[in-house]
Amino acid sequence: MRRLCLGIESTAHTFGAAIASDDGRIVSDVRDIYVPEAGKGIHPTGAAQHHSSVADKVVIAAFKDAHVRPEKIDAVAFSCGPGLGPCLRVGATVARAISVYFQKPLVPVNHAIAHIEIASLTTGARDPLVVLVSGGHTAIATYAARRWRICGETEDITLGNLLDMFARATGLSTPGGPEVERMAENGREMLDLPYTVKGNDVAYSGLLTAALREHKKGTQMADLCFSLQEVAFSMLTEATERALAHTGKRELLLTGGVAANRRLQSMLESIAQEHEAEFRVVDRRFSGDSGAQIAWTGILAFKAGLTVSVEESHVRPRWRLDEVDVAWRR
Ligand code: AMP
Ligand code: MG
Task: Compute the distance from residue 289 Cα to the ligand 2 centre, in Å.
Answer: 5
Which one-letter amino acid corresponds to residue 141? A
166 and 182 co-located in one domain: yes
User: How many structural domains are present in the chain?
Assistant: 2
Residue nearest to atom 11 of ligand 1 (CA): 177
**What is the rounded CA–CA span in Å between residue 184 and residue 161?**
17
Task: Compute the distance from residue 262 Cα to the ligand 2 centre, in Å.
Answer: 18
167 and 267 co-located in one domain: yes
**What is the rounded CA–CA span in Å between residue 207 and residue 224?**
11
Tell whether 328 is covered by a domain: no
35 and 145 co-located in one domain: no
Which one-letter amino acid corresponds to residue 205? S
Q: Which atom of ligand 1 is nearest to the CA of 175?
A: 12
179 and 212 co-located in one domain: yes
Tell whether 317 is covered by a domain: yes
Task: Compute the distance from residue 290 Cα to the ligand 2 centre, in Å.
Answer: 8
Please, what is the angle between helix 221-247 and helix 159-169, to 10°? 180
The DSSP element (H or E) to which 231 belongs, if any, is helix 221-247
Residue nearest to atom 5 of ligand 1 (CA): 257
pLDDT in tens, the chain (330 residues): 899 999 999 999 999 999 999 999 999 999 999 999 888 889 999 999 999 999 999 999 999 999 999 999 999 999 999 999 999 999 999 999 999 999 999 999 999 999 999 999 999 999 999 999 999 999 999 999 999 999 999 999 999 999 999 999 999 988 999 999 999 999 999 999 999 999 999 999 999 999 999 999 999 999 999 999 999 999 999 999 999 999 999 999 999 999 999 999 999 999 999 999 999 999 999 999 999 999 999 999 999 999 999 999 999 999 999 999 999 998
140 and 268 co-located in one domain: yes
Tell whether 258 is covered by a domain: yes
44 and 167 co-located in one domain: no
Give phi and psi for 83, each to the nearest 5. 170, -170
26 and 170 co-located in one domain: no
128 and 176 co-located in one domain: yes
- The reported pTM is 0.98
Q: What is the CATH number of the domain that holds 94?
A: 3.30.420.40
The DSSP element (H or E) to which 166 belongs, if any, is helix 159-169
Per residue, the 3-state secondary structure of 96-127, as one string, reads HHHHHHHCCCEEEEEHHHHHHHHHHHHHCCCC
Task: Compute the distance from residue 288 Cα to the ligand 2 centre, in Å.
Answer: 6
Q: 3-class SS at 53?
A: helix
Tell whether 45 is covered by a domain: yes
Q: Which residues contact 237 (CB under 8 A, 6 or more apart)?
A: 267, 268, 271
Where in the sequence is the domain holding 146, given as residue range(s)?
Answer: 121-285
228 and 302 co-located in one domain: no
Q: Where are the alpha helices (DSSP H) in 248-306?
A: 262-274, 291-303
Report which of 309, 263, 317, 260 is spatially closest to residue 289, judged by C-alpha positions.
Answer: 260
Q: Pocket residues for ligand 1 (CB within 6 Å)?
A: 134-136, 160, 163-164, 175-178, 181, 256-258, 260-261, 288-289
**What is the rounded CA–CA span in Å between residue 166 and residue 73?**
43
